[in-house]
Amino acid sequence: MNQSSAPASADPFPLAEARTRYQEWTRRLRSEGLLPVEFLLPRLEVPCSRDLPAMMASGARIASPGDQVLRQRIRELGPWGYGIQLRPGLCTAPHAVALERMIYRSHLIAATVRSLLGEAFAQARCVDFACNHGYFSLELAYQGMREAAGFDLRAENVAKARFLKDYFGIANARFEQRDIYDLDPGDKYDVVLNLGVLYHITDPYKLMELSYKLCTRFAVVDSIMHKEPVSAFLQMVNKDTSSHAEGKFNVELHPTYRAVIDLMYAVGFKQVIEVVRAPLGEGRDCPHELYDRLDRRCLIGFKEPVDLPGLRPAAEAPPVSARRAAPAASARGMANLWRRLRGR
């Protein structure tokens, strides 16, 4: 061995660099036009204003405890990562953007659940998988849903949800520390909220099957969805399981957009649609960049086909801003890419 040369690394693909390798791969794919934004489902377009949703707006009328006490409690329960306004000027997360994102998601998801249920809303029950802070359960319960049940892996998250429940005085929401894979598939709820968790787990089929089994009407699936135009799961490693927002394992499987659609039909949903803000398209100011780039999307699977007025057909693709669009893919682009990657 040549003593002067640096010792060869034992592992040519160090785990620590997995994310960088994937980012490099997607950067190349994007530059070759191989990560197009696809619209393969009928779309429901819903207004997503910046107005405070009902529960957070009600905080302005809650006088006690005083700000000092609340701030102390928020600190003790943190870190939060999600912005929920308790009263004007007092929020669970310090950055305005966290609150703007929560408001956006609330209009996109909670308001849509309410309007889809229509007159059945007041009698409906929902289960909130991996609820963390419990916001979606709380907002729906506050608006008058009969019951919302949230489950999360971590006691620290359930404590946050219970704190908000007490603060806003919401009796018809309950929270429990539980692995969602341990929920009884025989339990029945009108709606399943499968939000922000599909990309934190390692058994996507079982989770989607559970979503199907537990709901009697529909399941909302809100997730990171990668753009690779194939039905696949991408393995992400090195996850920090000490973080309150992560999954149980340091490995997780991230779905592509096509994988989520295929999986939802595979477990039995009869109709799958996408929910987007109205209007989606060029030059609109969206406070949540993941949805804006369509890296994160919200789909709804119905147990029975429904007739939804105003549903836009999949073929009518919305305009996509230059920031989000990938240049058109070409066969030559693909061949060049493979040649370059193989030659490395």
Where do contacts with ligand SAM occur on this chain (CB under 6 A)? 130-132, 151-154, 157, 179-181, 195-197, 200-201, 244-245, 247-248
225 C-beta neighbours (distance < 10 Å), count: 26
- How wide is the angle at C-alpha 264 spanned by C-alphas 154 and 127, nearest 5°? 35
In the bound complex, what is the minimum distance in angstroms from residue 118's beta carbon to ligand SAM?
24
CA distances in angstroms from 252 to 121, 222, 224, 238, 305, listed in the order given: 34, 16, 12, 9, 32
Residue 34 or 153 with smaller CB distance to ligand SAM: 153
In the bound complex, what is the minimum distance in angstroms from residue 181's beta carbon to ligand SAM?
5
CB 285 within 8 A of CB 250: no
In the bound complex, what is the minimum distance in angstroms from residue 207's beta carbon to ligand SAM?
8
Sign of the CA dihedral running 90, 94, 96, 100:
negative
In the bound complex, what is the minimum distance in angstroms from residue 197's beta carbon to ligand SAM?
4
Q: Which residue is nearest to ligand SAM (CB)?
A: 196
Residue 80 or 151 with smaller CB distance to ligand SAM: 151
In the bound complex, what is the minimum distance in angstroms from residue 135's beta carbon to ligand SAM?
6
In degrees to the nearest 10, what's the CA dihedral of 219, 290, 143, 184? 30
Nearest Cα to Cα of residue 239 among 253, 252, 254: 252
Residue 151 or 163 with smaller CB distance to ligand SAM: 151
Pair of tokens at residue 19 = 């994310």
**DSSP result, 40-95:** -S-EEEEE--SSPPHHHHHGGG---S-HHHHHHHHHHH----S--EEETTEESSSS
Residue 35 or 127 with smaller CB distance to ligand SAM: 127
In the bound complex, what is the minimum distance in angstroms from residue 317's beta carbon to ligand SAM?
27
Residue 194 or 271 with smaller CB distance to ligand SAM: 194
- Using CA atoms, how far apart are residues 179 and 222, in angstroms rounded to an integer? 19
Residue 125 or 133 with smaller CB distance to ligand SAM: 133
Residue 32 or 147 with smaller CB distance to ligand SAM: 147
**DSSP result, 237-261:** ----TTSTTS-SSS-EEEEBHHHHH
In the bound complex, what is the minimum distance in angstroms from residue 78's beta carbon to ligand SAM?
14
Q: Is the peptide bond before 12 cis (omega within 30 degrees of 0)?
A: no
